[in-house]
Amino acid sequence: MRRLLLGLLALLWAGGALFGSPNPPHFWWERVPGYAALLGLGGAWLLGAGFRALGERWLQREECYYEERNFAARLDTPRPLAPPGNQRPDRGQNHDG
Amino acid sequence: MTAELFGHPAFLLAAAAVALPLLPLGARRALTVIAPGIALAVLPALPAGESGSVRFLGISLVLARVDALSLVFAFVFLAIAFAGNLYGWHRTRLGEQAAGLLYAAGGLAVVLAGDLLSMFGGWEVMAVASAFLVAAGRRAEARAAAMRYLMVHLAAGGALLIGILLVIRAANSTVFGELNGLGIGAWLVLASLCLNAAVPPLHAWLPDAYPEASPAGSVFLSAFTTKAAVYCLIRAFPGHPFLMWAGAAMAVYGVAFAVLENNIRRLLAYHIVSQVGYMVCGVGVGSALALDGSAAHAFCHILYKGLLFMGAGAVAQVTGRDKLIELGGLYRRMPLTLLLYMVGALSISGAPLFNGFISKSLVVAGAAEMKEGTVVLLLHLASVGTFLSVGLKLPYFAWFAQPAHGPRAEAPRHMLAAMGLVAGACIALGVAPQLLYSRLPYPVSYRPYAPAHVWEAVLMLAFTAAGFGSLRHRLRPHAALTLDADWFYRLPAARFVPDFARPLEHCLQALGAAVRDFADALAAAAQNPPLVLRRLARGQRAWNSADNPQARGSRWVPPYDENRQRPPVALTLLWVLTVFTALAFAFGAAAWCHRSGGKSLSRPSIGRAQRREVAPVAPLIYSLPDERNVVDPGANS
């Protein structure tokens, strides 16, 4: 299976090398046979291995990163607006004047 | 004018949104789909050029300017509003349904606006409605993200308004045309548009908010805000050199972050940043081909990104999960969803026969035409990263990667129908590009299916797939949060906000407690006004703890007892007689004054002829007809 896939890729590369260059080329790399294959493979490795390794090292944190550090969350905790001694008694209570 | 206003697509959608509360659920669902359909049918009937002028505070507002550029955006906005509402047929909450329609109405108002102030109005409607859509995700995270989203967009709206007022002053015109070179106001407008187009580092609101919305809400969000910003950039800043480099950088930035992402909808959100980068880059290149490319790519992107969000939303709806580490093995449970998702994935990756291929290549060809080699390479790299994440990583880890499990459980039929419609449009445009090219602002002679271009695309995609095959273990997702530019306002703000907000919060709490005390006192006094008044008249406290030992300290007075607190009859009679006597004297005095001409009581009056003429209030903002010779991308209509 792997050989079949490699053979197919080689065939595609050969086709690209023969027919895949723009005429006239805009840039120097378009003269390289099958340059698009290099862009695809190189780009995938650059992003999938290079950028990912850098990102994991420098940018990734635990999922609760913001929650743990979010001081503002304290503002969201409900607090009583009035002191407890200032509550009115129940309406059903019987008060005699 | 009224007829023109009623035929305006934004008005139709807004009217439908207003009518929704009056209808039962079934009719509401039908109206959310029918209204964009009617507006879509009405759109071609709008007269070309400017119409729907209204005067407001002395300013002439042009609510409808129809040209090729505005028609492209208006058409696709209505199409995705139709498909998005069909996809969200299951929604029951009135607020979410109305917010979706209002959001689309705001987007249409922006792309059809002929003047800067109308554009601003539509923009603010979009900001508020979209914040509601984010909050409709209903989780606590969604509400927090909606608040951050609203804060960012209100700040951007403020900058936009200040910029617009400065531009109007500089240009002496309210016309929404090219703004390049109009000083600080134009820069403020550009900054605000860049924020709305999610140009890094002003982009963090997008991946923060979009994944938190409901599945249908994400479809709407992916379509309007960033694309309305792209429309405005095409209209106002064509050929701005900053935009070309910013666009190329954001195209790569988005894919680099998407590679790290675990949440499927956040991964797609980062790809909005990347794809909008192509459009912004095309605006910056500024040639006719590149501007056509930006408009075409916005059109196609709205379709395929909507389709991708629909697929991801369907997975979230059926499984209740949206993280790749929790998914896998869905290919037997949701094969149709996979198939339709892959149409969107191949479209965004620029595979031949799909719509992304015919639009993305216009932008790249535009940059190549201007010999911008670095930009072309960056756009190619973004294309590779797009296929790597959206076309390979996401479907592999969501639908495969693990053994199939569970019975078949496809998304609901209305979701599949909406996805099928959009997928059909993606393929139709990919197969017949002239359907779109013939409607672009400038004539297009570009041939996307030139053999060299097709080989280039096929080769790039095939070898990207080969790269993924060798990297798939490294690309396995894991639970983590990726820090982005939102770190700058989420953490420092979290540290500084308490210092600033606590004193304010304490003041507000004290004020609230005082108001509540006053209301309590008033309510207690109202129970027995004679007793309270008598106590106050005697210099006593109105509330006496002896009234009720159990309620010590509370503001409570015994209820009114007519047998104990009723005043004597004689006192009541005295009050009544006193009042009547006072009234009789007042009427007598008035009659006497009237007979004597009122000279003794009234001041000399100012005659009509003596009144000072008051000059009319000068308008705050004055507009003059636009005399500037601007390059109008929509002039081809």
Residue B626 has pLDDT above 90, yes or no: no
B207-228 average pLDDT score:
95
Q: Is B520 on the interface with A (CB under 8 A)?
A: yes
CB contact under 8 A, A52 and B260: yes
Size of interface A-B (CB pairs under 8 A): 211
A9-37 burial code (b ≥16 CB/10 A, e <16): beebbeebbeebbbeeebbeebeeebbbb
Contacts of B144 in chain A (CB under 8 A): none
Contacts of B483 in chain A (CB under 8 A): 59-61, 65
CA distance A12 to B464: 13
Q: Which residue of A has its CA nearest to B452?
A: A20
Residue B629 has pLDDT above 70, yes or no: no
What confidence score (pLDDT) does residue B561 get?
80
CA distance B271 to B134: 18
CB contact under 8 A, B455 and A70: no
CB contact under 8 A, A97 and B528: yes
What confidence score (pLDDT) does residue B612 get?
40
Structure tokens at B68: 């090729």
Residue B321 has pLDDT above 70, yes or no: yes
Of A74-83, B22-31, B210-219, give the lowest mean pLDDT range. Answer: A74-83
Nearest alpha-carbon partner for B83 in B33, B11, B148, B17:
B33
Nearest to B561 among A40, A79, A97 (CB): A97
Residue B159 has pLDDT above 60, yes or no: yes
| Residue B548 Cα, gap to closest chain A Cα (Å) | 7
What confidence score (pLDDT) does residue B554 get?
63
CB contact under 8 A, A48 and B259: yes
Q: Which of A21, A47, A57 to mutate to test the interface with B (most CBs of B within 10 A)?
A: A47
Written as one letter, the residue type at B60 is S
CA distance B78 to B73: 9
| pTM across the whole model | 0.79
What confidence score (pLDDT) does residue B298 get?
98
Q: Is B128 helix (H, G, I), strand (E, B) or coil?
A: helix
A51-64 average pLDDT score:
92
CA distance B59 to B57: 5
Contact A52, B259 (CB under 8 A): yes
pLDDT band with cut points at 50, 70 and 90 for residue A82: very low
Contacts of A83 in chain B (CB under 8 A): 513
Nearest alpha-carbon partner for B90 in B37, B23, B29:
B29
Q: What share of chain B is helix, strand, coil (3-state, %, to 5)?
A: 70, 5, 30
Q: Is B57 on the interface with A (CB under 8 A)?
A: no
Nearest to B459 among A40, A65, A66 (CB): A40
- Residue B54's φ and ψ, nearest 5 degrees, are -130, 150
The percent of residues above 90 in pLDDT, for chain B, comes to 67
Q: Which residue of B has its CA nearest to A45?
A: B467
Q: Is B113 helix (H, G, I), strand (E, B) or coil?
A: coil
Structural element, H or E, at residue B50: strand B49-56
Nearest alpha-carbon partner for B48 in B63, B62, B68:
B68
Contact B78, B40 (CB under 8 A): yes
Residue B1 has pLDDT above 60, yes or no: no
Q: What is the pLDDT of residues B416-464, one digit of tens each?
A: 999 999 999 999 999 999 999 999 999 989 999 999 999 999 999 999 9
CA distance B163 to B97: 33
Of B94-103, B344-353, B525-534, give the lowest mean pLDDT range. Answer: B525-534
Residues near B492 by beta carbon (within 8 Å), at least 6 away in sequence: none
A4-17 average pLDDT score:
91
Of B88-97, B476-485, B500-509, B598-607, give the lowest mean pLDDT range. Answer: B598-607
pLDDT band with cut points at 50, 70 and 90 for residue B494: low
Rounded to 10°, the helix B116-135/B94-112 angle is 160
Q: Is B368 on the interface with A (CB under 8 A)?
A: yes
Say which DSSP state B182 is in: -
β partners of residue B53: B62
pLDDT band with cut points at 50, 70 and 90 for residue A70: low
Residue B180 has pLDDT above 80, yes or no: yes
Nearest to B468 among A48, A73, A87 (CB): A48
Contact B253, B304 (CB under 8 A): no
Nearest to A60 among B481, B491, B494 (CB): B481
CA angle B336, B337, B340 (to 5 degrees): 85
The percent of residues above 70 in pLDDT, for chain B, comes to 90
What confidence score (pLDDT) does residue A67 get?
80
Structural element, H or E, at residue B436: helix B434-437
β partners of residue B50: B65
HEC assignment per residue over A28-72: HHHHCCCHHHHHHHHHHHHHHHHHHHHHHHHCEECCCHHHHHCCC
What confidence score (pLDDT) does residue B616 get?
41
pLDDT band with cut points at 50, 70 and 90 for residue A96: very low
| Residue of B516 and B631 predicted with greater confidence | B516
Q: What is the pLDDT of residues B605-618, one digit of tens each?
A: 444 444 444 344 33
What confidence score (pLDDT) does residue B545 get?
67
Tally of CB atoms within 10 A around A64: 10
Q: What is the pLDDT of residues B570-597, one digit of tens each?
A: 888 888 889 989 999 998 888 888 777 6
Of B31-45, B128-142, B187-201, give the lowest mean pLDDT range. Answer: B128-142
User: Which residue in the block uniquely carries the two structure tokens 């609760």?
Assistant: A64
Q: Tell me the pLDDT of chain B averaged across its residues.
A: 88
| Residue A47 Cα, gap to closest chain B Cα (Å) | 6
